[in-house]
Amino acid sequence: MACSQVGTIKSVGIFLEDISLSLGTTSTDIGVSLGLFTAFSYFPAPLIVALYRVTSLRRVILILGACLISLGVTLTALATNNVLVAVYLSIAGIGNCMLAISSTLALDQLGSNQNFNLLYGVGMSGFGLGMVLLPILADVLGRAYGWRGGIFILGGLMANLVPCAMTIQVEPAFGQDLTTVHRANIDNFEESGRSEERFCNDRPTEEEETTLLCPERSPCTSSYQPEHQLLDDDTSMESTAVNKIQKEFQEQDQNSRQFLDRIRNSIRRSDFYRDPIFNVMFVSEFMFGMLYCGWHAFLVPHAIQRGYSIRATISMTLFASVGNFLGRLLAGALSDRLANPICLYLVAALLNASAILCDAFFHHYYVMLVTACISAMCIAGMAVMGPLAVRKRASPANFDVAYAVNELFFGSGTFFGGYLSGSCLPYRNLMGDTAAELANYITPHKPQLWIEPNL
């Protein structure tokens, strides 16, 4: 999954000139399409988490997500304008989101605390393979079949995710399921209690039964009723109706107050209220998403625009893929084991800012090789440590919700990052300067996210 996600972005970068000539698109249009692809890989995360809590839908979400990835990339080869390219890439992005969220939550249920960090880093290390393998395939297939044939074949190759998704063990969250059943039983019990109470209230009293059993004009009743008694009966009926209406309004007001109280209590019990650092974390993740998508989406077009050949650009992606693989693997292996995550993130952020600044001011191929490798390693490490920080701070019962919100903010940042990078790409120097400014802004914002929450 990780291989196909970043490989799709790099492959579109390889075919950027051919797509622009064929469809008449600009770099900004491609930037919006890639931004939508990356954004929809994270935007639907809250909805996917809500559906994943339904045990019977978990395997369906996994398999459907794998199918949408292949379908979206395949349909991109058939697009006739930039709007269809954006729509089809968005479909592939939704499939990536479904598969990534489901597999991560399944890993969280099956793995222990420290093993989750390592396994998550190993799983995400597929980004490095996708950075170099799929661009090479895209170049070879593009020369033989054109950009449409190359993307079509790549979409077919991504169909191997379907059998892989079928083999994932989806364990039900027994605690959540039992809690749901328990709440349902309580609701049924309360509902039955209310029905019995209504039944008891609706039963006639002994006097009413005696009155009903007495025949008309019998000695127990009298057919003559004075006029003042009839007026009293009418007044009592009106007062009873008024009291009934007032009682209904009071019950509705009480129900609305109880509903608002439940919402207020749920907010106060949430990790977002008890741990305000979560809000800072999400804003910082938004900024990091801008840098992440901007760098990944336009590393290849940036190199081509500087005049390097396709082979030289692929060699650059090879160096970047090595750094990406090492960054994700080391981030998962070293976190909470051999190094302090705060120090790891600080070092990665500073190295990334320095590498991007060097790339912006030194236009030399070998310098770009080194900076691409270092930036890829740092950005990949920070991308892994973000979800690990969320898992460390969130309570076990609310990890899926916190993870979904984190992915939502990250996806929002990737969309704006792709758009800004596409807008700045025609200006050679602004590409590196913008990324460098983003890197310098992000550097001081993340270290506090690993501080233990005071609950």
Residue pLDDT, tens place only, 19-55: 888 888 877 788 788 878 877 888 888 888 888 888 7
What's the whole-number mean pLDDT along residues 174-202? 45
Q: What is the pLDDT of residue 308?
A: 84
> What tens digit of pLDDT does each residue of 116-137 get?
878 888 888 777 777 777 878 8
Q: What is the pLDDT of residue 92?
A: 92
Q: What is the pLDDT of residue 255?
A: 66
> What tens digit of pLDDT does each residue of 336-372 get?
777 766 678 778 888 888 888 888 888 888 888 898 8
Is the pLDDT at 447 greater than 50? The verdict is: no
Q: Range with the lowest mean pLDDT among 227-231, 252-256, 377-381?
A: 227-231
CA dihedral 112, 118, 123, 124 (to 10 degrees): 120
CA dihedral 395, 401, 405, 411 (to 10 degrees): 120
| Domain locations in the chain as residue ranges | 2-171+269-450
Calpha distance 371→357 (Å, rounded):
9
Residue of 164 and 31 predicted with greater confidence = 164
What's the whole-number mean pLDDT along residues 248-254? 67
Measuring CA to CA, which residue among 447, 277, 288, 449 is closest to residue 353? 288
Q: What is the pLDDT of residue 241?
A: 63
**pLDDT grade, residue 249 (50/70/90)?**
low
Measuring CA to CA, which residue among 417, 453, 452 is closest to residue 435? 417
Is the pLDDT at 223 greater than 60? The verdict is: no
**pLDDT grade, residue 182 (50/70/90)?**
very low
Instruction: Give the number of C-alpha atoms closer than 13 A to the C-alpha of residue 118, restricted to the C-beta side.
Output: 10
**pLDDT grade, residue 91 (50/70/90)?**
very high
The CATH number of 2-171+269-450, from 1.10.287.890, 1.10.3720.10, 3.40.50.2300, 1.20.1250.20, is 1.20.1250.20
Is the pLDDT at 207 greater than 80? The verdict is: no
Q: What is the pLDDT of residue 113?
A: 64
Is the pLDDT at 224 greater than 60? The verdict is: no
The answer to whether the CB of 325 falls within 8 A of the CB of 381 is: no
> Where is mean pLDDT largest: 166-180, 213-227, 301-315?
301-315
Is the pLDDT at 179 greater than 80? The verdict is: no
**pLDDT grade, residue 331 (50/70/90)?**
confident
Is the pLDDT at 451 greater than 70? The verdict is: no
Residues near 404 by beta carbon (within 8 Å), at least 6 away in sequence: 45, 46, 48, 49, 101
Q: What is the mean pLDDT of the chain?
A: 73
**pLDDT grade, residue 264 (50/70/90)?**
low
Q: Range with the lowest mean pLDDT among 79-93, 201-215, 309-323?
A: 201-215
What's the whole-number mean pLDDT along residues 322-327? 86
**pLDDT grade, residue 139 (50/70/90)?**
confident
Q: What is the pLDDT of residue 421?
A: 67
Q: Range with the lowest mean pLDDT among 19-33, 180-194, 249-263, 362-376?
A: 180-194
What's the whole-number mean pLDDT along residues 140-154? 89
What's the whole-number mean pLDDT along residues 279-304? 79
Residue of 10 and 191 predicted with greater confidence = 10
Q: Range with the lowest mean pLDDT among 60-69, 320-329, 339-348?
A: 339-348
Q: What is the pLDDT of residue 222?
A: 46
Q: What is the pLDDT of residue 75?
A: 92
Q: What is the pLDDT of residue 395?
A: 76
